[in-house]
Amino acid sequence: MPLHMIKLCVGCETVEELVAWHEGTQRPWVMHTRQTPKRAPEMIAGGSLYRVFKGVILCRQRILDIATVGQGIDARCEVTVDPEIVRVAPTPRRAFQGWRYLEPKDAPADLAEDLAGEIPPELARQLRELGAW
């Protein structure tokens, strides 16, 4: 069973900003972090990187590779993800530092493609705050 990773999306407030940030680049999508997961093989075997925007999980990207780059105090982790972004059911998540494992049973469900783009982000945020979504 694949294992997932969850991480705050720093520097972007919306999924659209994340897409725009990478638009036009030919580089692979790589997320950098300090610690390499000890359970990396489980994550590469079908896991996803779930992204938290302003306290809410909004999307995921399939994890393609996890590699440790550098040695000693210069070592860091690079998580290569699929450029395809899959929107998920908006799920509140408290702030945390770094990244965390996310078990499949705790992962939010994918949204249908036709539903994901129908609701404006601001309306979706207000609905979440009211507990209606």
pTM value is 0.83
99-108 tens-digit pLDDT: 999 999 999 9
pLDDT at res. 128: 58
DSSP state of 103: -
Between residues 24 and 50, which one has the greater pLDDT? Answer: 50
Domain segments of the chain: what residues? 4-130
Per-residue confidence at 123, pLDDT binned at 50, 70, 90?
A: confident
- The string of DSSP codes covering 12-74 is -SSHHHHHHHHTT--S-EEEEESSPPTTHHHHHTT-EEEEEETTEEEEEEEEEEEEEES-GGG
Asked if the model's pLDDT at residue 125 lies above 80, the reply is: no
Helix (H, G, I), strand (E, B) or coil at 114: helix
Helix (H) or strand (E) holding 124: helix 121-130
